[in-house]
Structure 1
């Protein structure tokens, strides 16, 4: 019995010594806490928007080292942002960087922009040049439930405003409930400086108009290398020659809706600095209603070819041609890049559905690379995610859904011009008008799953009521006709 007690006491002593040894070893190892807590992004809440006409990976999770960070507070809509100091007009070359909009997550301190960077806003939107910017955005229901194709992460450029307009959209938007949807710095256009292996890898995750999915790196390099002048980087590249004494850029954006028939808006439209049109824009014979000038023509190769086939009988012969006309591609397939390259180099399309075709047929013999522009897929995805996030994204048709070509054109003007007037876009009384202004008999508006025209119609009403655009309507108190 005494021997058993001695053995038990020895075992207890040995176990105690082993436990003390383990504790000492653990205390000697450094704790894996960061030296300083990570900085927290400011959060924005996206309001739900509820909508023109043509033929997700979770929101950027942080790296593994951040997974133990405490959860961030629930993002809320920030107060109106300060307009800040508007910089004087000078067309500086935009500098690409990466702007991320995450679901109000913590960002590693080493990836944040330095504290001494100059911010254009006072409430969470940080605009800097030539560095990675992690910008917090709290979309409703954002987080791990977001599907991979959403991709709320965008390249950013520090682009100074072209004017010092005191009554421009950039200043007015700060006083509206729409401020949470706007990101400054997402490039509207893509150009030669945007093509890198890193960007190709990032954007290849997103199909169609929203990325470079399915587009070979070689095709991108060969196409975008011709867009290497300042004219290719700026939507309104000739403003310094056009401005005269105006302090504000006024743009007319003309859709093809039947509401324009007998509207007598032609003179008013042509009186703007810039006139945007899209797809089957028939001008000849309708000048009194829709004007005669075109400074920017927006299209995809698919919508252009469809327009050539569908509206030839009504008088559509192809894109408008004039010395002031710029051609803005909305790329949703490699055929857009191939047609762009052929047009810029005055050669025939080398492959694809348009193989062997001469771009001069569409853009004229004298078209130059400086007159060609192409929307950036980040911009298209940003418009879809922030302004036109349709329920179609939750269906099996999610990969073909995108904002309509007319919607992209109007929202591009909203992000570029100081004052925007919209004509020929769908309004709540759309059933009173034919689909297009040039149709001799009534044709109802067609609805297809690849666009959400009702959501777009609601967005135009929202922008109009907020004073950010002037929308032409027949029936509304205070309507500007």
Structure 2
């Protein structure tokens, strides 16, 4: 009888060990051996007419160094974002850019498997959410602009794999993190090349970082064609161009099989602000001169309703 009980205990312990192993990351995986990972399945999702009219899987998110292949209408739209072009020549800018960084020859990701991605916005609604462990459980964690992690780990997580920024929102990054440049204007391409080489460009419409600490071999640059695709097909020309956060979300839709979205929209009291700030001016970030926050938020809600993303409010 005693032997039977011992056998049952041993079997129970083995079962618990197997369950634990099934939730652990590989020993050499991101976050070390004790990071829990999402073992999510990736079932096929039927496309609605609404989604199919907007989502184009053929659109390449990254700039691949082939400037002549950018359609003329993309170049014209993009150059106008900076104001008067003043004779800007795109080809020399691209050549300079890929003399500093290796030009990617194709997609920077393996589409196989079931990649889980967390897009972490900067909304004040993250305060007190406790979403940190859930965010860190994803394969990729996407953040943007001046997002802070230190001191907010319980609510926003610790990990960052991709950090989206533009010259005026640039921050230094930890080793191993991808810097994803959102080039809202050609000057952004010139800045990122300068920030990793000569440091000669220190001002756009405001002072910008002369140098950025980040891994040069992990720099990714979004294509102007991808930005125009979001502007035309998704926000449907509301605002001058899409926000960094919504751009990161669309990047995730094109590169990840399961997308979770955190930290977008107003907080529980209806105020719009960043989670690391004191909220003195409720609603200050609802409307800007370039983005339409309400249109973008309605798209996020529709994507969640259609099962394309998991939206944590």
* TM-score normalised according to structure 2 size: 0.75
Question: 5+ unaligned residues in a row in structure 1: which ranges?
Answer: 1-164, 305-317, 393-400, 474-481
Structure-to-structure mapping, 1:338-377, within 5 angstroms: 338-344=190-196, 346-350=197-201, 353=204, 358-359=210-211, 362-364=212-214, 367-368=215-216, 370-377=217-224
> How far off is 1:323 after superposition?
2.7
Residues 326 and 213 of structure 1: CA distance in aligned 2, closer, same or farther (over 3 Å): farther
Contact map agreement 1:208 1:331 (CA 8 A) in 2: no
Deviations 1:3-59 (A, max 9, x none): xxxxxxxxxxxxxxxxxxxxxxxxxxxxxxxxxxxxxxxxxxxxxxxxxxxxxxxxx
Match of 2:277 in 1: 439
Count of equivalent residues: 268
- 1:186-197 aligned within 5 A: 186-192=59-65, 194-196=66-68
* Greater gyration radius: 1
Deviations 1:452-478 (A, max 9, x none): 0000110010000000000111xxxxx
Change (3 A) 1:263 1:356: closer
Give the 3-state SS of the residue equivalent to 2:118 in structure 1. strand
Shift in CA distance, 219/261, structure 1 to aligned 2, threshold 3 Å: same
Query: Who is 2:97 aligned against?
Result: 223
Deviation, 1:180, is 1.7
Kindly tell me: are residues 201 and 176 of structure 1, through their superposed partners in 2, closer, same or farther at Cα, counting changes over 3 Å?
Answer: closer
1:206 is aligned to 2:77:
yes
Could you tell me how far apart the structure 2 residues matched to 1:451 and 1:458 are? 13
Question: Which residue of the partner structure matches residue 174 of structure 1?
Answer: 47
Distance 2:49 2:42 in 1: 14
Structure 2 Cα separation of the partners of residues 200 and 438 of structure 1: 40
> Tell me, what secondary structure is at the counterpart of 1:253?
strand
Match of 1:114 in 2: none
Which one has more relative contact order, counting CA pairs under 8 Å at least 6 apart? Answer: 2
- CA distance in 2 between counterparts of 1:465 and 1:459 reads 10
Q: Which consecutive unaligned segments of at least 5 residues does structure 2 have?
A: 1-39
Instruction: Say which SS state the counterpart of residue 174 (structure 1) adopts.
Output: coil
Aligned 1:27-66 pairs, distance under 5 A = none
Moved more, 347-356 or 254-263: 347-356
Given candidates 306, 309, 312, the residue that maps to 1:469 is 309
Post-superposition offset of 1:410 = 0.7
Aligned to 2:295: 455
Equivalence map 1:59-138=2 (5 Å): none
Query: Per the alignment, in what secondary structure is the counterpart of residue 422 of structure 1?
Result: strand
Task: Indicate the RMSD between aligned Cα atoms, in angstroms.
Answer: 3.0
Q: In 2 relative to 1, CA 248–355 (structure 1 residues): closer, same or farther, beyond 3 Å?
A: same
Q: 1:212 to 1:420 in 2, by over 3 A?
A: farther
Task: Assess if the C-alpha contact under 8 Å between 2:78 and 2:224 holds in 1.
Answer: no
Q: TM-score, normalised on structure 1?
A: 0.50
Q: Distance in 1 between matches of 2:97 and 2:140?
A: 27
Contact between 1:189 and 1:234, CA under 8 Å: does it hold in 2? yes
SS at match of 2:276: coil
Partners in 2 of 1:459 and 1:208 — Cα distance?
27
The 1:185/1:200 distance shift into structure 2, 3 A limit, reads closer
Measured in 2, the distance between the counterparts of 1:458 and 1:209 equals 27
Give the ranges of 4+ consecutive aligned residues of structure 1 lying more than 6 Å apart after TM superposition.
209-213
